[in-house]
Amino acid sequence: MIISKAVSYITPINGTFFSTSLRSRKTQETISYLLKTSVLLIACCFTLFFYGCFGKILKPVPESPALVKLSSYEYPEFIDDTYYDNLEEGIRQSLSYLNKRPRNIKFAFGQDLYETTHMVDSLVNFLEFIENKPSANELKKHIDENYYVYKSTGTKGSGDVLFTGYYEPFLEGSLVKRDTYKYPVYGIPPDLISIDLSLFSPKYSGEKITGRYTGQTVVPYYDRKEIETGGILDGKAPVLAWVNNPVDLFFLQIQGSGKIFLDNGETINVHYHAENGHSYKSIGNLLIQNQIIPPSEMSMQKIRAYLDSRPEAVQEILNYNPSYIFFKTEEDGPKGYLDVKLTPERSVALDRRIFPLAGLVYIEAAKPVVSGNGAITGWTKNKKFVLNQDTGGAIRGPGRADIFWGNGKYAETAAGNMKHKGCLYFLILKPESVLKPDNE
């Protein structure tokens, strides 16, 4: 989730950085103007919506389907290269989510719709089938006879999906602000509000505006610079913990979940709760545009190394990304968008607007081969079944996917370096197979 496609014109000034993105400025001015509309008169915005005055914030879901149904002869060669390890746990997490949903909710697989009950039947069938660790031939036969397969149309209809990765970071912190621990992990501020635009028209399903009240108006919420440099939330927002490194905190926000090891010996799990509503801007792209890190070498590790070497420039570089994340604590974790525990290498984040949540997915991607000293010596195929259990601000469209790698050094290495094209498929049980759990 480090690399974003958003690119601005960047001008070095006195050894630091200054962004002058005309497109971003225009969008911010447009949003600012509309957000200043009185809350008491917000219903009037209904008329404005039809004139598209909200610009890209109301960008509709693409009309062309994100998934296309395949004929059986087009099915990929299904192989699970980790021999189904942890797959049962991942499926159970999706079932936990689905069993809490209304039975008649529709899940879209391209132009086809399936209800919650059928999603459950589909996962239960697959779960029962893999319990005995079927061979590749048995797996192929079972899928051919019992499942429909849909392929992601990918970037611009090419079928190519860019796979990146994310992981669960570990941080050091304290419940009390100290000289060593002075960077706050904020919970939701009391003045943060969200407006659901779908209430005005189904056309804007899934779209919202985030801001804050000022008297009788709503304005954009504070950006990262105002929060971290200006200290605008000091004493106003709840602090879940104080951590010792601003870069670690920044990457915690990028990943969305993490563990904080406290100085009192305890550990807390923090998880994404809300954001300030500003668009995500990649500091990786910032460093590329300033010719600091070549595109071919860009990784989270390279970004960290540069920031460590330039402590005086850290905050200004971080401020380039105005998006800011607020957290909540969880008893367990990490959790994704479905509010279920993520399973390492079995959970993926996709665009929730166009792909069926909790669905069974098959991916053909890549994974790093890492030496004993942590260096990547090459990349190998990564073919396996995963579950659509998360989403992300930079994960938009049918051509993007983010694999959750878990925690630890390998997970951090894989997540920080993965930028590989591959293919992605969704599987759903054929309706006529619901009453045939075992066709072998």
Section 139-145 average pLDDT: 97
Average pLDDT of 332-352? 94
pLDDT of residue 333: 84
More confident residue, 363 or 61: 363
Q: Does the pLDDT at position 343 exceed 70? A: yes
Half-sphere exposure (Cβ direction) of 195: Cα atoms closer than 13 Å = 27
Per domain, the residue ranges of the chain are: 10-61+169-330, 67-167+335-433
Residue 366 sits at φ, ψ, to 5 deg, of -145, 160
- Render 215-268 in DSSP notation, one character per residue: TTEEEEPP-HIIIIIS-TTTTTS-EEEEES-HHHHHHHHHHSEEEEEETTS-EE
Q: What is the DSSP letter of 38?
A: B
Q: What is the pLDDT of residue 434?
A: 78
| pLDDT score, position 206 | 73
* E strand or H helix that includes residue 414: helix 409-417
Nearest-5° Cα angle at 324, 318 to 329? 120
Instruction: Determine the average pLDDT of the residues in 244-248.
Output: 97
**Which CATH number does 67-167+335-433 carry?**
2.40.40.10
Say yes or no to pLDDT of 8 above 70.
no
pLDDT in tens, 89-104: 999 999 999 999 999 9
Q: What is the pLDDT of residues 176-234, one digit of tens each?
A: 999 999 999 999 999 999 999 889 888 887 788 999 988 888 899 999 999 999 999 99
* Domain 10-61+169-330 class, CATH top level: mainly beta
Higher pLDDT, 437 or 367: 367
Q: Would you say the CATH fold of 67-167+335-433 matches that of 10-61+169-330?
A: no
Average pLDDT, whole number, for the chain?
86
- Asked if residue 356 has a cis previous peptide bond (ω within 30° of 0), the answer is no
pLDDT of res. 211: 96
What is the pLDDT at residue 277?
A: 93
Give the end-to-end CA distance of the chain in Å, rounded to a whole number.
41
pLDDT at residue 414, as a whole number: 96
Q: What is the pLDDT of residues 22-50, one digit of tens each?
A: 334 334 444 444 444 443 334 434 333 33
127 or 256: whose pLDDT is higher?
127
